């Protein structure tokens, strides 16, 4: 990864605070307050999506997209596994717990990478679950 001039710039970039807030809310939704964290992120997104600087807009779009995917991957997919495998089977729980742990952890690690990029004033695209960057 080459060093960009942006990397060398110590001053905070426009919209960096908002970008950090977006990434933090994404992680809060996954780790501490599932639901309220997402609602707060949505509120921030709809309030700032037009006027915010490009860096903040990019992080807001990425985190909202990734959060929606997270909802599907963590809630719907697990309900489907339980529905198909039956509640009363040890193997169902092997699949559910392993799937939930790996999917959730992957989403959290992506959030950590996003937060680190926001802290450095850089944009970040979530692999697979993020929006395409312009």
| Site residues for another protein per CB under 8 A | 2-3, 7-8, 90-91, 93-94, 97-98, 101-102, 105, 108-109, 112-113, 115-117, 119-120, 122
Min CB(51)–another protein separation in Å: 26
Nearest alpha-carbon partner for 24 in 131, 116, 130: 116
For another protein, give the closer residue by CB, 8 or 50. 8
Measuring CA to CA, which residue among 128, 126, 127, 129 is closest to residue 59?
126
Closest contact distance (angstroms) between CB of 121 and another protein is 9
Sequence-distant (≥ 6) Cβ neighbours of residue 10 within 8 angstroms:
none
Provide, rounded to whole angstroms, the least separation between the CB of residue 93 and another protein.
Answer: 6
| Helix H or strand E encompassing 106 | helix 90-119
Nearer to another protein, 42 or 103 (CB): 103
Least distance in angstroms from the C-beta of 66 to another protein: 17
Contact between 27 and 67 (Cβ < 8 Å)? no
């Amino acid at each position: 990864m080459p060093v960009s001039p942006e990397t060398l710039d110590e001053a905070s970039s426009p919209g960096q605070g908002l970008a950090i807030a977006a990434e933090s809310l994404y992680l809060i939704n996954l780790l501490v307050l599932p639901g309220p964290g997402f609602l707060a992120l949505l509120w921030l997104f709809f309030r700032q999506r037009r006027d915010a600087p490009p860096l903040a807009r990019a992080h807001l779009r990425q985190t909202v997209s990734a959060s929606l995917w997270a909802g599907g991957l963590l809630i719907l997919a697990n309900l489907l596994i339980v529905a198909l495998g039956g509640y009363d089977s040890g193997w169902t729980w092997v699949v559910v717990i392993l799937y939930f742990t790996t999917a959730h952890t992957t989403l959290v690690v992506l959030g950590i990478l996003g937060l680190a990029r926001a802290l450095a004033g850089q944009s970040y695209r979530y692999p697979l679950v993020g929006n395409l960057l312009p």
